[in-house]
């Protein structure tokens, strides 16, 4: 373990924000603000680089990637650019276990295809073994607050999508507790491939789900720094015990806690109150009570 007096370069992460001008519905940019703030409070610098249409994606230059949602008319040029300019780099990043968060339209474009209500299919990258079909303008959209189970906990957010996504072999992000999820039919929400996460949860997602935000940050730190990130984050927060042993905890033990084994916990009472309030609105009173009881203690 490093001595408390050891001087090290500060931890830094670089996030590539794909299509910040085209895909930014329902305050999805708030996800990036949350990641930046949660890093800052731990002495970690998060650099954000916008990648628009025409920009290449060099995977070695980034540690995390984010792509938000947009309207159908905005997704068409993005779909073309994903294949022509960013597809190879994005695939390389995902196969190298870079954490990626794709919301709504971004999620759809990382599956096989999106079939809009009008016009030709938009070809996706096929990262997720899934596809999306719009049932037509006469079919009600999937709109409203939504809660899902994830990793033994809950995620909350807001969804608004006309397309219905169906999973092939892709693993869902979670099971719908209340709301529509992927298609309002099979209780699945989102999709996972390696460390890439697709979801319909706007809200923004990460401000009301600090545990998921920390999960993405932790994946990025572990991938870039390994045990050095564990030790330096402890030193920054005045805790000089070696946390590396905690990483050896069983998966079951980790699922029973909302505290990351790597990142020092933050004062998240407001975030958890917002999370619990959403659960209460959806009638999930037991889950809301558990959240408040856990985080007050």
Binding site feature residues for substrate? 141
Is 142 marked active-site?
no
CA-only gyration radius of the chain, Å: 19
Annotated catalytic residue within 104, 161, 195, 275:
104
Assess whether 39 carries a catalytic annotation. Answer: no
Annotated binding site: 141
Select which of 112, 161, 195, 202 is catalytic: 202
Are the C-beta atoms of 212 and 204 separated by less than 8 Å? no
| Cis amide linkage into residue 204, ω under 30° from 0 | yes
- Which residues belong to the active site? 104, 202
């Amino acid at each position: 373990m490093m001595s408390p007096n050891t001087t090290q370069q500060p931890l830094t992460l670089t996030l590539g924000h794909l299509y910040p001008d085209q895909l930014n519905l329902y305050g999805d940019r708030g996800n990036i603000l949350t990641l930046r703030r949660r890093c800052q409070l731990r002495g970690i610098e998060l650099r954000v680089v916008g990648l628009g249409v025409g920009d290449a994606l060099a995977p070695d230059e980034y540690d995390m990637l984010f792509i938000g949602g947009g309207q159908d008319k905005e997704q068409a040029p993005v779909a073309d650019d994903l294949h022509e300019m960013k597809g190879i780099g994005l695939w390389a990043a995902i196969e190298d276990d870079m954490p990626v968060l794709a919301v709504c339209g971004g999620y759809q474009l990382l599956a096989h295809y999106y079939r809009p209500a009008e016009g030709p299919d938009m070809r996706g990258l096929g990262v997720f073994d899934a596809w999306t079909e719009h049932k037509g303008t006469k079919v009600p959209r999937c709109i409203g607050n939504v809660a899902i189970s994830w990793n033994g906990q809950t995620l909350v957010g807001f969804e608004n999508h006309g397309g219905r996504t169906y999973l092939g072999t892709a693993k869902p992000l979670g099971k719908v507790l209340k709301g529509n999820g992927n298609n309002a039919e099979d209780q699945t929400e989102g999709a996972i491939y390696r460390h890439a996460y697709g979801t319909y949860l706007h809200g923004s997602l990460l401000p009301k789900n600090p545990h998921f935000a920390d999960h993405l940050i932790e994946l990025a730190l572990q991938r870039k720094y390994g045990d050095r990130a564990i030790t330096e984050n402890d030193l920054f927060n005045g805790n000089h015990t070696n946390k590396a042993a905690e990483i050896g905890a069983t998966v079951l033990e980790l699922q029973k806690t909302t505290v990351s084994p790597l990142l020092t916990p933050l004062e998240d009472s407001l975030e958890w109150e917002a999370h619990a309030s959403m659960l209460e609105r959806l009638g999930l009173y037991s889950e809301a009570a558990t959240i408040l009881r856990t985080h007050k203690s």
